[in-house]
């Protein structure tokens, strides 16, 4: 499958679709998942065209995982979950639904099961508040 330049993440990178951004640099962008599996669920994407892990250049992957680590630390500081799940899905068979490589940062809380992925849109005001908490934790 060829990279689709009109996938939702490519459109976010071009500014065509709004996102609750938490961090960006010349190589990556981190923002809130609009269909979160738990409070504080963020995504990290590279600013490079690649559907999955197998297509991303090593330098771009390195930048993406470093941003994932940085944002995961901020999520931990902002939300104080007992654990954080880092997920990266490759291909439809693995459950990938947006074909631009991305990492999920999903806080895990005791007694709170994860909601199903890509099922329900979160309240934009809630996401904006969560994004603000993460940005503050990055400083």
**Residue in 40, 121, 115 with CA at minimum distance from that of residue 75:** 40
The CA distance from 94 to 48, in Å, is 21
The CA distance from 3 to 119, in Å, is 24
- What residues are labeled active site? 102
Q: Is 49 helix (H, G, I), strand (E, B) or coil?
A: coil
Alpha-carbon dihedral 2, 14, 27, 35, rounded to 10 degrees:
-80
CA angle 55, 89, 86 (to 5 degrees): 115
> Largest Cα–Cα distance of the chain, in whole Å?
41
């Amino acid at each position: 499958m060829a990279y689709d330049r009109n996938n939702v993440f490519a459109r976010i990178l071009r500014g065509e679709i709004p996102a609750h951004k938490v961090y960006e640099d010349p190589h990556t962008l981190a923002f809130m998942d609009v269909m979160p599996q738990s409070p504080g669920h963020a995504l990290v994407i590279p600013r490079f065209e690649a559907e999955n892990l197998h297509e991303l250049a090593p330098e771009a992957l390195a930048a993406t995982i470093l941003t994932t680590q940085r944002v995961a630390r901020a999520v931990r500081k902002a939300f104080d979950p007992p654990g954080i799940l880092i997920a990266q899905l490759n291909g439809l068979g693995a459950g990938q639904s947006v074909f631009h490589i991305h990492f999920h940062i999903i806080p895990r809380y005791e007694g709170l099961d994860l909601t199903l992925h890509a099922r329900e849109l979160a309240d934009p005001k809630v996401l904006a508040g969560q994004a603000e908490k993460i940005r503050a934790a990055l400083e």
